[in-house]
Amino acid sequence: MEDRTYTADAEPGDSVTVAGWVHEVRDLGGIAFLILRDSTGKIQVKFEKDEMDDDLVETGLGVHRESVVSVSGDVEEEDRAPTGVEIVPQSLEVISEADPELPLDPSGKVDAELSTRLDNRTLDLRKDEVKAVFEIRAEIQRAVRETFRTHDCTEINTPKIVATGTEGGTELFPITYFGEEAFMNQSPQLFKQLIAGSGVERVFEIGPIFRAEEHNTPRHLNEATSIDFEGAFCDHNDAMDVAEDVVVAAYEAVAENCEEQLEALDLAAEFEVPDADFPRISYEEAIERVNATGALDEQLVWGDDLSTEAEKALGDDVGGHYFVTDWPSEVKPFYIMDHEDDEQLSTGFDLMHPDLELVSGGQREHRYDQLIEGFEQQGLNPDEFEYYTKMFKYGMPPHAGWGMGAERLVMTILGLENIREAVLFPRDRQRLSP
């Protein structure tokens, strides 16, 4: 829109045209106010009924909340106005009139259920504290990208329609691809490895992953955003160092650049950047610590995966961010390498905060014969993965990497109770639109 001024830039003495949404109309009798909101803030428009054109007053005060209007007028200093300035209007145009019956109250005075909010995301995002989550998410993604660059990583984009899954056959969404069965990709896992082995060496991707999870929980989505790292000539310890850097950089960026958003979320006073050097606890120690808490009915034994209850007990015991390392080989996927001196132990690791899994990764099996063996041990047919395995015959360096859920990162940074709060349009068991 030509010659439009953002409300935050309106200075006393200026003649401006502002445009945005009608936040509120307050009629006090002889004087009335229309509060106009745009992406930069709010401004008060003053109507002195006796001194103004009747049509202008009638249009300005008759307009429904959340209608889109533009107002032209003079900006004046006014100490009593919420932002210290107000506009004395000369003209007002109703660009898009809103229905007086709103499905939710964007002023936030009336609470709405999460499902109502998600059904009406456009209106929901008009609330400062909701908009703040997505502005922070954008800042986190910016900081993550920049941190990867400091680690010499190249950003890549890999296919989301694939012929095979990698993270266990039960969680795949099948689709029809020109008459043949295909799947939505669960992870860029195999592609990022193929690129790390190409000579590009260090790569990252921020993109969608699709999981046909049976769970309908506050921590699972059926479409999530995965932040993936893969580095040639890296081992699992190097990969953990990169994960730690990315997480700390995300917190730092929020602390430095999102003060206003933290205020809107009422988090400004308590927000803390975690110290790097997250503890690295072995799986063996983790199960001993869980057992020692006495929180579980049955003691964990070597080889058990950590259940939600076990993760909760461990999170309560350790607190903050910590890695669980040296998992039993059998609970980790075929592409994770075992320790050289102990085949029962893998180089796989998870990063937890404090009972939510944020990251999983490890060093990869880059030796062709061992890789094929791994497929067979996991009951997978290596022939179906020939496009992947054959590249291990042409010079594959040792490499390591990880995947981090972007929504889980936002969720833990902001202490959100439900992962859906961190997604504009979540996909879950009940929700396929909007």
The residues binding ligand AMO (CB under 6 A) are 167, 187, 189, 211, 213, 220-221, 224, 226, 228, 357-362, 401-405, 407-408
Nearer to ligand AMO, 34 or 406 (CB): 406
> Residue 137 in 3-state DSSP?
helix
> CA 63 to CA 408: how far, in whole Å?
41
Residue whose CB is less far from ligand AMO, 43 or 419: 419
Q: Choosing from 126, 137, 408, 420, which is the catalytic residue? A: 408
For residue 269, the minimal CB distance to ligand AMO (Å) is 28
- Which CB atom, from 142 or from 215, has the smaller least distance to ligand AMO? 215
Instruction: Tell the smallest beta-carbon distance from residue 193 to ligand AMO (Å).
Output: 9
For ligand AMO, the closer CB: 23 or 211: 211
Closest CA to 22 of 57, 62, 75, 52: 62
| C-beta of 187 vs 261, nearer to ligand AMO | 187
- Exactly one of 64, 151, 219, 289 is catalytic; which is it? 219
Active site residue 213: yes
Q: Are 94 and 67 in contact (CB under 8 A)?
A: yes
The token pair at 68 is: 């889109």
Gap between the Cα atoms of 188 and 33, Å rounded: 54
CB of 214 to ligand AMO, least distance (A): 10
The residue among 407, 406, 431 whose CA lies nearest residue 417 is 407
Q: Say how many C-beta atoms besides its own lie within 10 A of residue 241's C-beta.
A: 14
Q: Which candidate, 199, 186, 182, 188, places its Cα nearest to that of 156?
A: 188
Q: What are the Cα distances from residue 234, in Å, to 242, 277, 401?
A: 10, 18, 8
Q: Which member of 64, 65, 145, 220 is catalytic?
A: 220
Catalytic one of 23, 126, 202, 211: 211
Per the annotation, the verdict on 220 as an active-site residue is yes
Is 357 tagged catalytic? yes
Task: Measure the CA–CA gap between 131 and 208, rounded to whole angstroms.
Answer: 21
**Going by C-beta distance under 8 Å and a sequence separation of 6 or more, which residues neighbour residue 335?**
166, 189, 190, 193, 364, 365, 371, 374
The helix (H) or strand (E) run that includes residue 122 is helix 121-124
Min dist CB 299 to ligand AMO, Å, is 25
In the complex, minimum distance from the CB of residue 213 to ligand AMO, in angstroms, rounded to a whole number: 5
Q: What is the CB neighbour count within 10 angstroms for residue 56?
A: 17
> Which residue of the set 357, 367, 373, 431 is catalytic?
357
**Which distant-in-sequence residues (6+ apart) come within 8 Å of 429 by Cβ?**
216, 222
- The torsion angle over the Cα atoms of residues 147, 241, 228 and 274, rounded to 10 degrees, is -70
Q: Can the peptide bond before residue 106 be classed as cis, meaning omega within 30 degrees of 0?
A: no
Q: Which residue is nearest to ligand AMO (CB)?
A: 405
Rounded Cα gap, residues 65 and 100, in angstroms: 7
State the minimum distance, in angstroms, from the CB of residue 37 to ligand AMO. Answer: 33
- Whose Cβ is closer to ligand AMO: residue 66's or residue 230's? 230
The token pair at 127 is 């609330």
d(CA 69, CA 17): 10
- Residue number with CB closer to ligand AMO (211 or 366): 211
Query: Is the CB of 44 or the CB of 193 nearer to ligand AMO?
Result: 193
CB of residue 220 to ligand AMO, shortest distance in Å: 4
HEC profile of 191-216: HHHHHHHHHHCEEEEEEEEECCCCCC
Catalytic residue among 187, 226, 329, 360: 360
Min dist CB 361 to ligand AMO, Å, is 4
Active-site annotation holder among 78, 213, 252, 285: 213
Catalytic residues: 211, 213, 219-220, 357, 360, 408
